[in-house]
Chain A
C-alpha cells in the first residue's frame, strides 16, 4: 500500500487477526456477549467503538505530553466519557429504537477494556497518526468479531439478517420453516455468544498454531 508504510499498515492489520482484541487478548467480552443477538446492533456497536477509539486515541496522543502521570486515568475517562455521550446522543436522535436495544451498553463503552487498554498501551507513547491507525485497527478487530457473532446468532436464533426474513416466515411456514425447521432459541441468549466466540478462537488457533500458549 502506497498510502501507508509497512509499519503503519501493520498497526491496522495486526488487531484484525493475530492480535485481535477479542479472540487473542480476550478484552471487551461483556459487550460482545450482550448485544450480538442482532446483526444490526452489532454493526452499530462496532461503528460506535470505531468512532470512540479512533478519535479518543488521537486526542490522548495529542495531549500525552501534558497529562500528569498521576491523574492520567481520570483524564482518559473524561475523554472517553465525552465521546460516548456524543455517540449516545446521536443514536438517540437518529436511531431511537436501536439505542433502546443497545440500552446501557452504549454507556458502558466507557468501561470497555479495549479502549482504556489502547489509551494506556499505545496512545500515551505514540504520535497522533500512529495512534489513529492503532485505534481504527483495534476497533475494526473488535467489530469484525462482533459482526461474525451477530451474523450467526441472528441467522440461527431468529432466522433473520438485519431484520429481513432470509430463511422464510416462521409463522406462515414458508421457506425452510415449511420443512419443519425451527429457530434455535439458545442462540438468542448471551451464553451462545460465548460459545460462538469460543469456536472462532478455536478455528483461529488451529489455523495459526503460533498463537497457542505454552501450557
Chain B
C-alpha cells in the first residue's frame, strides 16, 4: 500500500489533483523523500502537531458533551435524579447512545464539508492542503446545540471556511476565527435553532407543542428572562447543565486549558487577562446593584445581580476563553497586546450578556470583535515600543556621538 502510494505520487506529480493526493499521502504515511540540502528549522512541533494537541485537549469536552446530551435528554423527560450519582445517572450507556447518535453526525458533517472545501481550494489554487481545518472542525460541533440540523451546519461550514478564511488567503491569513464565523452565521441565519429553551435538549424541538414536550433552558437564558434556575453551583462547574455540546463542563475546559498552557500551545496571558476582564465587568455590575442604583423592576436586574465569578461557570465563556480567544492566528501577537486583547474579550462578553437580552450569550461576538481589533492593538504596542527605544537611545551616552544615527533611525521607523 505504502509503496503503491509512493509510485502514484510520482506519477501524479505536477498534475492538477496532486495537492489533494499529497495531503492524504502525508496524513497516512511519512513521505519517502528527505530534504536534500541541510534543514534549517528543527522543532518537535509542526503545524499538524500543534493542531493535534488542541484536539487532544478538546476530546474530554467532546466525550462529556456526548454523555451530557443523553443526560439532559432523559432528565428532561423523567426529571432530574435525586441523589445524583456519576455512574448511575451520568456515565451510562443510554446517555452515551443518545450522545453518539446526535453529536457524532455533527462531527462528521463538520469535518467532511470543511475538509472538502480545503481540498477544493488547494486544488484550484495549486498549493498543498493546509491543516488549518483540523481544529476548527472539532470546535464547530462543540459550540452548537445538539439538535442543529446537519444541512444548516453544512451551509454554515461552507460560509465560514470560504468567507471567513479562504477569501483572505487560507490558513494563517484569516482575520476572523473560522469556528466562530460559523457559529455567528448559524446564529444570525437560523436564530430559532440557536436560542430558546427547546434547542439545548435532544428532541426538544421535535416534541414542541405535543403532550411529551420537553425543554431545558440554559442558566443565562433563564436569567435573561428574569426567572430563576434550578442548577447548583456544582452542576455548573462540573457541567451537568443544558448548553452547546462541549461548553458546559468548566472543569474539563480548565483541565484542557492547563494542558494547552503546559504544552505552550495556547497563550496563558490571553486566558488570564480574559478571566480578569470578565471578573472586572461582573464586579462593576454587582457594584451597581449593591449601590442600589438599579431598581429591581429593571430588566437587567437579574443578570446584573448574578454573582460576578459565576459568569465564568455558565455559558460558553470558559470554552471561548480557553479554545477560541487563544487562536494564534486571529489573536494579538505581542505579549503586551495579548493582555489588552484578552481583557476586552472577558469584559465585553459579560457586558453583551447583560445588556443584550436578545442574545443571552455574548462570548462569540466579543471574540469576533476583538479579532478585528487585534492587529490595531499590535500596531500600537509595536509603535509604543519603538518610541520607548528611541527615547532610551536619545538619553543614552554613546561613544562616538550618535546624533546622526537617531535621525536615520527616525526616518526608518516613521
Asked if B189 and A202 sit within 8 Å, CB to CB, the answer is no
Cβ-neighbour of A185 out of B149, B151, B155, B189 (below 8 A): B189
Chain B binding site: helix, strand, loop or mixed by DSSP?
helix
* Identity of the chain B residue whose Cβ is nearest the Cβ of A189 in the assembled complex: B188
Cβ of B185 within 8 Å of any chain A Cβ, yes or no, is yes
Given A180-B149, A180-B151, A182-B152: A187 touches B163 (CB 8 Å cut-off) = no
* Identity of the chain A residue whose Cβ is nearest the Cβ of B163 in the assembled complex: A195
Asked if A185 and B167 sit within 8 Å, CB to CB, the answer is no
Asked if A202 and B190 sit within 8 Å, CB to CB, the answer is no
Cβ of A184 within 8 Å of any chain B Cβ, yes or no, is yes
Docked complex Cα distance between A181 and B150 (Å): 11
Docked complex Cα distance between A85 and B187 (Å): 40
Given A195-B163, A202-B167: A187 touches B189 (CB 8 Å cut-off) = yes
Chain B residues numbered 186-206 whose CB sits less than 8 Å from any CB in chain A: 188-193
Docked complex Cα distance between A200 and B185 (Å): 19
Docked complex Cα distance between A33 and B149 (Å): 29
Size category, B interface: 10 to 19
Asked if B185 and A186 sit within 8 Å, CB to CB, the answer is yes
* Identity of the chain B residue whose Cβ is nearest the Cβ of A191 in the assembled complex: B188
Size category, A interface: 10 to 19
CB distance from A161 to the nearest CB of B (A): 19
Docked complex Cα distance between A198 and B164 (Å): 13
Chain A residues numbered 173-207 whose CB sits less than 8 Å from any CB in chain B: 180-182, 184-187, 189, 195, 198, 202
* Identity of the chain A residue whose Cβ is nearest the Cβ of B149 in the assembled complex: A180
Docked complex Cα distance between A185 and B163 (Å): 17
Q: Mark B141-178, 1 if CB is under 8 A from A, else 0.
A: 00000000101100100000001000100000000000
Question: What residues of A have a CB within 8 angstroms of the CB of B185 in the complex?
Answer: 186
Asked if B189 and A184 sit within 8 Å, CB to CB, the answer is yes
CB distance from A206 to the nearest CB of B (A): 10
Given A195-B163, A202-B167: A185 touches B191 (CB 8 Å cut-off) = yes
Docked complex Cα distance between A195 and B152 (Å): 18
Docked complex Cα distance between A187 and B189 (Å): 7
For A181, A184, A198, the residue with the greatest tally of chain B CB atoms inside 10 Å of its CB is: A184
* Identity of the chain A residue whose Cβ is nearest the Cβ of B124 in the assembled complex: A206
Asked if A186 and B151 sit within 8 Å, CB to CB, the answer is no
Cβ-neighbour of A186 out of B149, B189, B193 (below 8 A): B189
**Sample of 12 further A-B pairs with CB below 8 A, known A185-B189, A187-B189, A198-B163:** A180-B149, A180-B151, A181-B151, A182-B149, A182-B152, A182-B190, A184-B155, A184-B190, A185-B190, A186-B185, A186-B188, A195-B163
Contact surface of B with A, Cβ cutoff 8 Å = 149, 151-152, 155, 163, 167, 185, 188-193
A-B contact pairs, 18 of them (CB 8 A): A180-B151, A181-B151, A182-B149, A182-B152, A182-B190, A184-B155, A184-B189, A185-B189, A185-B190, A185-B191, A186-B185, A186-B188, A186-B189, A187-B189, A189-B188, A195-B163, A198-B163, A198-B167
